[in-house]
A and B are shown apart, each in its own frame.
Chain A
Amino acid sequence: MIRRSSRTLKVVLSLGYAFLYLPLLVIVFFSFNEAKLVTAWKGFSFKWYQELFANRILLRAALTSFRIAALSATISMILGTLAAITLVRFPRFRGKTLFVGLVAAPLVMPDIITGLSLLLLFVSFQQLFGWPTSRGSGAVIIAHTTLSVAYVTAVVQSRLAEFDRSLEEAALDLGASPFQVFFTITLPLIAPAVVTGWLFAFALSLDDVVIASFVAGPGTTTLPMVIFSSLRLGLSPEINALTTLLLLFLSLGLVVITAVMWKTQRTSSQDKV
């Protein structure tokens, strides 16, 4: 349904975008403000960036967060790919209906329930087996993995569904072992979806504050947890600087991804010719 839109509609659309972007731009603007308060502009400075990089707690939390995100994304990438293969490829087996439900359910579960129920699980594990003795980052990794598996599965599943199996069949006919076929044919072909799933899981883990607050032990503090506790106390200009850096990385990443996508699109269309 392509139609030229009336002026009113275009105004509404622009207002919608303004609503989405203005708040973020305000933060970027005030990250360069000399004053602590955002009520007045006191002059340009990089003061808050300096304070951000001098903030040990924040930096250490960022490091913890990145480690947890990388590990949980990797585990959920493996589990999610296996789950997607199970869902798309394998014939019906007993308990498959339950499996379909289990894979999709974390998508709609509120964070607060996922966090609460996992904490209850860890507490009863502790009582029953004496493990985990103190909930460190391991608990957070397990929790984030459970959350992200659903997303990885969904992404890989859609890729597998439109997958041409004749290549696999050919390889099998030529005498390759199943695992050879999987690692040399199937995996490279679904790799873009697997990587997308990993990125998704990574972003989810970096963004989560509720689940981490529930399951993390006293020694483990993730970056969102630090930000959350500082936001509870009110405004903090360091977060402005952090936001600006984040937006910068995000737009850079986006430019790279778009460039790569355009390039692959162009080469694939050239291949067709």
Chain B
Amino acid sequence: MKKAFQKDRKKAPYDIFGRHEQRWIAAIPYGWLVVFFLAPCLLLLRISFSEGVLACPPYTNIFSVLSQEILQIRLHFSSYWTLFHDELYRKGLLTSLQIAGLSTFCCLLLGYPMAYTIARSSPKARSLLQLLVILPFWTSFLIRVYAWITLLSPVGVINGCLLRWGFIEEPLTLMQTPFAVCLGIVYSYLPFMVLPLCMSLSRIDQELLDAAHDLGCRPLKVFFTVTLPLSFSGMIGGAILVFIPAIGEYVIPELLGGAETLTIGRIVWNDFFANMAWPVASALAILLILFIVLPISFWQRWKEVRA
């Protein structure tokens, strides 16, 4: 009887609003997102299949009504062709992947010991330590990047100190390098790595570790055979949270990177604003979306398989 009741409840959740009102409540955010999120994405897809022309707007219409019965759709794959055959785009894709991958790895390398130590402290200290990790995140993003300009620039703090103390004769080129871009990304997105790691590490059952200890396992081996595998989901989650914003990043490579760190984000920006190559910029954006959707769907798949 009780089960039947529960089932019934699940089928039709009790709600204060009637069917008619529900429709209106759902329609408002739904409509907004369809118009201002879904439609722009479809538009992006459409323009990526059009041809660049010197006009305003600088692309051709892929739909044309030939007569009353025929709607002609012309898909130009030239933008995608350009992406894979032009040296600039190939290099840009590679640079973005390298920088995002390397930064994610560095975040993991720095974030793991931090999260590990935070997870091992008492609950009260843990919440304070976690707060301290998030806090810089609440200052403006631009300001955090600016902090690194202050440190790394040729007339910045590091070069200034080294010059004054006589370690170097000429200022080092620290800024305008891929290294600076990685540093900026690691600095900006480190909290995204530490917090999921903290969550998964503090969920590990202490008894498992004790058991391994009691059975004579050495601490280092306990770490590698018990702790590390159990925190794998946190590692993947953190890596995805860092990789996704890193691969599409525009501001950090623009401010800290030089001419050779031309990432996807910067190419999209330049193609759009400076070169007026809207179709190619759109195609690149579509490709970037794929780079983001793929790791997420792999992760979802992996979670399903594990569960």
Contact = CB atoms under 8 A, between A and B. Distances in A.
B117 A13 contact: yes
Interface string A1-43: 1111100011011001101110110110010000001111000
A137 interface: no
Nearest to A178: B16
B29 A80 contact: yes
Interface stretch (B17-25, B64-72, B79-87): B17-25
B114 A12 contact: yes
Interface string B22-58: 1001101110111011111101100100000000010
A111 B248 contact: yes
A110 B247 contact: yes
B274 interface: no
Contacts, number: 259
A246 interface: yes
Contacts of B6: none
A153 to B, nearest CB: 8
Contacts of B136: 20-21, 24
Contacts of B163: 39
A235 B149 CA distance: 7
B140 A27 contact: no
A39 B156 contact: yes
Nearest to B47: A120
Contacts of B285: 112-113, 116-117
B157 A231 contact: no
Contact of B37 (A16, A106, A243): A106
Given A113-B285, A235-B155, A23 B29 contact: no
A242 B202 CA distance: 38
B150 A112 contact: no
B147 A246 contact: no
B57 A99 contact: no
A57 to B, nearest CB: 16
A23 B144 CA distance: 8
Interface of A: 1-5, 9-10, 12-13, 16-17, 19-21, 23-24, 26-27, 30, 37-40, 79-80, 82-83, 85-86, 89-91, 93, 95, 99, 102-103, 105-106, 108-114, 116-118, 120-121, 123-124, 127, 142-143, 145-146, 149, 153, 165, 168-169, 172, 178, 181-182, 186, 203, 206-207, 209-210, 224, 227-228, 231-232, 234-235, 239-240, 242-243, 246-247, 250, 254
